[in-house]
Structure 1
Amino acid sequence: MLIAEIARTSGEVAGTSGRKAKVTALAACLRAAGPGEAATVVAYLSGELPQRQIGVGYASLRAVPPPAAEPSLTVPEVDAAFTEIGAVSGAGSVARRRELVTALLGRATRAEQDFLIRLLAGELRQGALDGVMAEAIAAAAGVPSAEVRRAAMLRGALGPVATAALADGVDGLREFTLEVGRPVKPMLAASAPSVEEAFAKLKAEAAVEWKLDGVRAQVHVRDGDVRVFTRTLDEITARLPEVVAAVRELPVRDAVFDGEVIALRPDGAPHPFQVTAARTATRTAKATEPVPLTVFLFDVVHLDGDDLLDAPGAERSAALVRAVPENLRIPRIVTADPAAAKDFFADAVARGHEGVLVKSLDTPYTAGRRGAGWIKVKPRHTLDLVVLAVEWGHGRRQGLLSNLHLGARDPETGGFVMLGKTFKGLTDELLAWQTEKLRELAVREDDWTVHVRPELVVEIAFDGVQQSPRYPGGIALRFARVLRYRPDKTAAEADTVQSVLSLASGR
């Protein structure tokens, strides 16, 4: 298959908001893929590389050679080129990777260049997320989408599932089973603005658990061997010796647990998220690390020979209680009273945690999907910030100013301190409006970014503040999204960086 066909499909998918139309276009592309190409095609159309990271940054993508006149690049050729680029290391590696990227782009047409650049830059946002892609694989192979979703859950990736579905149909998909030692996709939670609304959705007695600001950890145990995986299914066992030691003491032969690891202060309050993140990012660690991690388990999907994926939440919870002592389980209550749940929520937040998860007692473990069985509730923080610059969008947002650079006011200098970027929360109407407005405020621009006069105030919702060396203020907003613009406010009325710092230091 030619890369031109994938680029054409990507443009078609990006150009429509209809889910059915996206699925139809993706399925047609998958049917045209040759033997052995399906997994790579799925990765590219999902905006991912099978190699994950190959060391190519924006600097390597700025100098684009003249495009080829006719398409000739094939999927296997590009995949091989990415593998070669990722394998470059040592002295002169940056220059060598740039050479290889330039050579690859020199063989691509203009449309292919645009697609490959966005793919390498991680900017291929076209609406082909896992749910849509799973439906497309099902349509291409003529199999039920439920079979694809379950196989993807058990295999942890859609690429191999597409290969099996297209080659062997349902029989191929049913070859994927839960294996201790191979991570499954984690179950995800929907959101609700309040505990009362979460209970209204479930309409029944429910479990309410602390929502920790830690790192998701899927823990596999087999005959004393412990392995730990992240929510992205990367193994981090060697980085968590204290977690491995704690789990190894459990009275189980083989098990797969779901949980969270978090760095706690001596008084039990959580450290800022970046402390936990830094520990889990360290390649090797010792059990005597100055900031140890604590593991809290909240679910079990396999226990001593029994698969529990399809068991209701109450049954899985009972199995967890039998296997795991209270000090290693997430604090929780079971109640039908929203008022009791609200008190539990307030206590969790007062202790420094993110909020709560309200969980159905009947729902099976539906991995990889944001279903109605788990609902997260968090307090919402908002700030009025100033737009300092904005980046051009890609895909459906091509030609629109999309990714906002956000700044807080610094009364001491009279300037603004950048706190991060966001393109989330923007409706089509807001995108069109801000593109026109920010072009009017532009003072300079380059290929990617339009810098503007700091006049436009925007109300931003976010989940928390974390330390970040990436920005001048040393802090950044977590999960920032646009709520609305505030034309009624001037930049002089925007929130100050001091108020943001107080949020970062507060518990």
Structure 2
Amino acid sequence: MLLDDLVRTSREVTATRSRNRKTAVLAALLARLEPAEVAPAVAFLAGEVRQGRIGVGWAALRQVAPPPAAAPSLTIARVDAALTDLARLTGSGSGAARRRVLEELFARATEDEQRYLRALLLGELRQGALEGVMVEAVAAAGSVPAEAVRRALMLSGRLAEATTAALTGGEPALAAFGLRVGRPVRPMLASPAESLAEALRELARPVVEYKLDGARIQVHRDGDAVRVFTRTLREVTDGVPELVEVVRALPCRSVVLDGETLALTDAGTPRPFQETMSRFGAASPRELLLRPYFFDCLHLDGTDLLDAPLGERRAALGAVAGEHRMPALEEPDEDAAERMMGRALAEGHEGVMVKSLDGRYAAGRRGRSWRKVKPAHTLDLVVIAAEWGSGRRVGTLSNLHLGARDPDGGEPVMVGKTFKGLTDELLAWQTRELLAREVGRDGHAVLVRPELVVEIELDGVQTSPRYPGGVALRFARVLRYRPDKGPAEADDLTAVRAMLPGEAGRAGRAGE
């Protein structure tokens, strides 16, 4: 297939806000791909290259400016081969070799293709082909259930792999995907609840457990081999030897555990979230010791538990996790649950989770059988722009423009601004990071690639014609940035609207 076909599809997807239309356009393209084209095409549609880091940035692309080709001739396979060549270039003379590969590639591209390739290589491609839309498109192209595609994706962690299976082998190929010890599963996510009482009312056979202000981890053990992954499925095994030691000492042969880890003070209270996250990039793995708290067991000694109810998974967890099990109460009454939440807050934690013992593990999804309860309203939003500060903040990017994820796969939808909660240190950091992501200016605002996720505390949400989403945040302030989350994990506009007065109950019933 020609790259031009994909570029035109991308343009059409970007131009519509209709989820159905996006799905139809993408499905039509996917159905025409050859098996060898699926992996690169799916990556391109997601705004990524499957080779990962290829050593190409602004500096390299500035030196590449051949006249565009008059007519399309560049294939998806040829682009993918060139990117593979670029990824392999290292050492002395690699800069000149990289320019030659880029010159040849861009010389064969039309003007539209050159524009697309530059955006792709710089990570600036925003075309609305988000994962949820892609799953539906793959299902339509392969004439398979979307849930089967979604499950294969969550178990493999790779959209291209799930797509290839759907298009070449149909449902039987998708059904062959299973949990594999050593290969991370996308973590299940929780939905916010207005109150503990509401969560207890909604969920049958509830379990209430601490909600820590830590980093999500997933650990895999097969014999003595242990691997540790973050919530984004990045492996961090080498940087957390104390966690490896804990998992290696558990009474089992093989296990997959879901949990949180955090750094504690000498008094046993949690250190700030930023200190815990700093361990994953620390030069010395012993700079700050981490303690794990496991709350779910997805596999134990040859038995996969992913499809088992939480009650069964918790029984397996109790048999293996010991002192490293998350504090929890099963089927408490409301008074006992309130006391549990009080203890969690008194010990410096965020709040509690309420889960249904009958619930399944919805890998990679924000399931209604997991509810998070915190005393303060918070949202994870994407920074889409920032305004230059005044007064003592002159020279820094201060007032943040905040966007909620578009559930239909478009650009983030602006829902508010805030400059509150920013320390001098955070102002300096965000100015550097946002300028590195600048894509343009609008008056005194710097427009940025929507990549940074920030956790916002707010009093609530109100209807407002001021922003495109029809809602606005009330008294918003920055709590912290979330380097452990990507923009695809930010809260979407539906979650923001659910915080409108009177909407929580309706949102809960709609999700049942």
Q: TM-score range by the shorter chain?
A: 0.7 to 0.9
Specify the code of the residue in structure 1 equivalent to 2:369. G
User: Structure 1 residue 366 and structure 2 residue 362: aligned?
Assistant: yes
Distance 1:336 1:83 in 2: 56
Deviation at 1:351, TM superposition (A): 3.7
Partner of 1:222: 222
Partner of 1:334: 330
Distance 2:430 2:373 in 1: 29
Distance 2:48 2:412 in 1: 28
SS at match of 2:35: coil
User: Structure 1 residue 458 and structure 2 residue 437: aligned?
Assistant: no
SS at match of 2:234: coil
Distance 1:381 1:465 in 2: 24
Deviation at 1:477, TM superposition (A): 8.2
Distance 1:313 1:433 in 2: 35
Partner of 1:175: 176
Partner of 2:131: 130
Deviation at 1:143, TM superposition (A): 1.3
Partner of 1:389: none
Partner of 1:153: 154
Deviations 1:130-157 (CA, angstroms, capped at 9, x unpaired) = 2221221111111122221222222121
With 238-247 and 67-76 compared, the bigger mean Cα shift is at: 67-76
CA contact (8 A) 1:60 1:98 kept: yes
Specify the code of the residue in structure 2 equivalent to 1:107. R
Within the candidate set 306, 309, 314, 2:303 is matched to 306
TM-score, normalisation: structure 1: 0.76
Distance 2:275 2:39 in 1: 36
SS at match of 1:105: helix
Distance 1:243 1:464 in 2: 32
CA contact (8 A) 1:420 1:471 kept: no
Partner of 2:21: 21
Unmatched 5+ stretches in structure 1 = 384-392, 394-401, 435-456, 488-498
Deviation at 1:251, TM superposition (A): 0.5
Structure 1 residues 146 and 425, CA, compared in 2 at 3 Å: closer, same or farther?
A: closer
Deviation at 1:341, TM superposition (A): 4.2
Specify the code of the residue in structure 1 equivalent to 2:166. A
Structure 1 residues 474 and 424, CA, compared in 2 at 3 Å: closer, same or farther?
A: closer
Within the candidate set 458, 478, 496, 2:454 is matched to 478
Deviation at 1:219, TM superposition (A): 0.9
Deviations 1:252-279 (CA, angstroms, capped at 9, x unpaired) = 1111111122222222233333333332
Q: How many residues align?
A: 447
CA contact (8 A) 2:356 2:370 kept: yes
Distance 1:135 1:234 in 2: 26
Specify the code of the residue in structure 2 equivalent to 1:359. K
Deviation at 1:38, TM superposition (A): 1.0
Distance 2:206 2:424 in 1: 30
Structure 1 residues 209 and 465, CA, compared in 2 at 3 Å: closer, same or farther?
A: farther
Q: What RMSD over aligned residues (CA atoms) do the two structures have, in Å?
A: 4.1
Q: Percent identity?
A: 45
Partner of 1:271: 271
Distance 2:413 2:215 in 1: 37
CA contact (8 A) 1:187 1:370 kept: yes
TM-score, normalisation: structure 2: 0.75
CA contact (8 A) 1:465 1:477 kept: no
Deviation at 1:161, TM superposition (A): 1.4
Deviation at 1:101, TM superposition (A): 3.9
Distance 2:289 2:193 in 1: 32
SS at match of 2:233: coil
CA contact (8 A) 2:457 2:478 kept: no
Partner of 1:292: 289
CA contact (8 A) 2:403 2:412 kept: no
Any residues of structure 2 matched to 1:387-398 within 5 Å, and which?
none
Structure 1 residues 418 and 308, CA, compared in 2 at 3 Å: closer, same or farther?
A: same
Distance 2:405 2:185 in 1: 32
Distance 1:348 1:99 in 2: 59
Unmatched 5+ stretches in structure 2 = 435-451, 467-476, 482-512
Partner of 2:245: 245
Deviations 1:54-83 (CA, angstroms, capped at 9, x unpaired) = 233344455663433222221111112222
Specify the code of the residue in structure 2 equivalent to 1:138. A
Deviations 1:16-37 (CA, angstroms, capped at 9, x unpaired) = 2222222111111111111211
